[in-house]
């Protein structure tokens, strides 16, 4: 457990010092002449806020110049009505970031931006590259010093376009050399581009705007939920190894690598919104089915099934349905807890400060509980949760987890704990149960989780569960700060422009 959303939507940490797996980023792009593309992008990012809460940004073009506005904070903190009204144009890209390469500082916020006499290029990236040092070595001396894999990619792409290639041709030349997870949105002054890595590790979709209103437009986004919020119809997934070019001529597709599908299984467990569809399968339906399978695989005699809100709720519904044990809300989440920079002292923690969850004693007292959650990482938050339920009078606490044990770190865009910190990598299930003081503990089997996703096993990246990495990661390419020697933390927004 211990998974932390800092927008308050899916927050379950009892102690803000405990940090669980952090998300991949969210990307959004729109080409829609005549529409308020800045506001469409804002709402698209709002729907993707769960994928990254450190910074947010929008790049926009009116056909003559690109304007980039970005800052640290949540989407609603970075943008307001006046700012969005000032950003006028017909195409835009947006990004909300959690840092997996490079520090969480303003300089590393996205979209990244390259400007030259010939024009500008802005780019947003969801994922994590695993050959960043090799790519950085390809940069000209004038562009050395990039601190993120995204900045390296932006500079390489723009330099190739400067040398006489079109941006589209430059992308087709560069992308086959890029290894790792990437769902990219990028743009020049007149065209929107989208590209997905050959494994398709992170979700990425194409949508159509305005089919009923008569207006025309195209949208690309990390999740289908972002298309829903802006009123776009899902057209299809962007294929692994595919580059899309979108302009007044419509959508053109070119392939830069053959597809070798390895979609992230953890998206179904936790990362994606429940109202998103991945590979034709609704995420909420998958999570409910996982709960059903968990109940059949690990039954227990109990009085109530309660979820850890909110990521444990769908699986808890499925567990209750399959087991016949009544479902109840036994924990109340404070929906208005966002980021907190006021850390509780040891004394306050000992008093049991509960910023984000509080038990319903009338529901819990004297009952045997099945507590359903999505994952356990370090075990600290689960330990605090069990203690809280026992203090509220629970007769028994049986923990059921709707994912297999997390045994290995991720190098493709999720910032997990190190293997040394992962409790399941260092303890047996019985030892973890004793450590968190649960009466019993059980995880869903990996094959059962895969079956619930309805995606063939060979088409999924399962590395965090089984250690089988679909793309080999060299030791010299690991580490969040591998490109950084020193980093400041400047404050304030920027408005960067490039004239064509």
Instruction: Name the binding residues for Mg(2+).
Output: 311, 373-374
Backbone angles phi, psi at 124, to 5 degrees: -125, 145
d(CA 284, CA 202): 17
d(CA 88, CA 148): 28
d(CA 331, CA 255): 48
In the numeric block, the tokens 């408005």 are attached to 495
Spell out the residues 6+ positions from residue 458 whose beta carbon is closer than 8 angstroms to its own: none
| Sheet strands (E) in 248-367 | 250-255, 263-264, 277-278, 281-282, 304-307, 331-333, 357-359
Please answer whether residues 123 and 111 qualify as being in contact, where contact means their C-beta atoms are separated by less than 8 angstroms: yes
Q: Which residues does the annotation place in the binding site for [4Fe-4S] cluster? A: 264, 410, 461, 464
Which whole-number Å values give the CA distances from 266 to 8, 216, 332, 463, in the listed order?
20, 35, 25, 10
| 3-class secondary structure, 417 | coil
What dihedral angle (degrees, nearest 10) is formed by the CA atoms of 416, 284, 48, 54?
-30
Beta bridge pairs of residue 205: 221, 237
Which whole-number Å values give the CA distances from 169 to 136, 151, 216, in the listed order?
20, 19, 26
Backbone angles phi, psi at 44, to 5 degrees: -60, -45
Token reading at 476:
């010299």
| 3-class secondary structure, 201 | coil
Catalytic residues: 25
In the numeric block, the tokens 């019985």 are attached to 430
Q: Half-sphere exposure of residue 316, counting CA atoms within 13 Å on the CB side?
A: 25
Please answer whether residues 86 and 62 qualify as being in contact, where contact means their C-beta atoms are separated by less than 8 angstroms: no
Instruction: List b or e across 281-304, with b for residues whose CB sees 16 or more CB atoms inside 10 angstroms.
Output: bebbbbbbbbbbbbbeebbbebbb
Q: Which residues does the annotation place in the binding site? A: 264, 311, 373-374, 410, 461, 464
d(CA 150, CA 178): 11
Q: What is the DSSP letter of 416?
A: P
Q: What sign does the CA torsion over 38, 93, 266, 259 have?
A: positive
């Amino acid at each position: 457990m211990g998974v932390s959303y800092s927008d308050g939507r899916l927050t379950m940490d009892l102690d803000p010092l405990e940090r669980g797996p952090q998300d991949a980023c969210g990307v959004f792009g729109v080409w829609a002449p005549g529409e308020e593309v800045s506001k469409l992008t804002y709402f698209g990012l709002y729907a993707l806020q769960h994928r990254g809460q450190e910074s947010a940004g929008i790049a926009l073009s009116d056909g003559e110049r690109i304007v980039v506005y970005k800052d640290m904070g949540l989407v609603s903190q970075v943008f307001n009505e006046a700012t969005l009204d000032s950003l006028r144009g017909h195409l835009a890209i947006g990004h909300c970031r959690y840092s997996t390469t490079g520090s969480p500082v303003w300089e590393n916020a996205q979209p990244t931006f390259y400007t030259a006499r010939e024009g500008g290029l802005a780019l947003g990236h969801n994922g994590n590259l695993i050959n960043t040092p090799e790519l950085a070595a390809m940069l000209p001396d004038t562009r050395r010093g990039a601190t993120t894999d995204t900045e390296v990619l932006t500079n390489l792409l723009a330099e190739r376009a400067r040398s006489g290639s079109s941006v589209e041709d430059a992308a087709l030349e560069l992308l086959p050399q890029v290894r790792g997870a990437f769902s990219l949105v990028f743009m020049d002054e007149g065209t929107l581009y989208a590209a997905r890595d050959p494994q398709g590790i992170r979700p990425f979709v194409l949508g159509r705007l305005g089919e009923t209103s008569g207006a025309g437009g195209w949208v690309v986004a990390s999740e289908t939920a972002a298309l829903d919020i802006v009123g776009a119809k899902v057209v299809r997934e962007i294929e692994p190894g595919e580059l899309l070019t979108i302009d007044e001529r419509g959508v053109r597709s070119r392939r830069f690598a053959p597809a070798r599908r390895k979609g992230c299984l953890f998206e179904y467990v936790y990362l994606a919104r429940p109202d998103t569809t991945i590979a034709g399968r609704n995420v909420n339906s998958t999570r409910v089915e996982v709960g059903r399978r968990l109940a059949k695989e690990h039954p227990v005699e109990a009085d109530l099934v309660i979820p850890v809100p909110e990521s444990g709720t769908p699986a808890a519904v499925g567990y209750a349905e399959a087991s016949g044990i009544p479902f109840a809300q036994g924990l109340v989440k404070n929906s208005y807890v966002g980021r907190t920079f006021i850390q509780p002292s040891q004394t306050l923690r000992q008093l049991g400060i509960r910023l984000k969850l509080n038990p319903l004693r009338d529901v819990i007292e004297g009952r045997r509980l099945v507590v359903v959650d999505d994952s356990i990482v370090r075990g600290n938050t689960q330990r605090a949760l069990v203690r809280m339920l026992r203090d509220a009078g629970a007769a028994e606490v049986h923990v059921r987890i709707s994912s297999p044990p997390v045994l290995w770190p991720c190098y493709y865009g999720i910032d997990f704990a190190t293997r040394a910190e992962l409790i399941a990598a260092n303890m047996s299930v019985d030892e973890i149960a004793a450590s968190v003081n649960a009466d019993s503990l059980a995880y869903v089997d990996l094959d059962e989780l895969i079956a619930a996703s309805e995606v063939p096993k060979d088409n999924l990246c399962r590395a965090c569960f089984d250690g089988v990495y679909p793309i080999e990661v060299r030791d010299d390419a690991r580490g969040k700060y591998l490109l950084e020697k020193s980093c400041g933390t400047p404050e304030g927004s920027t408005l960067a422009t490039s004239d064509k």
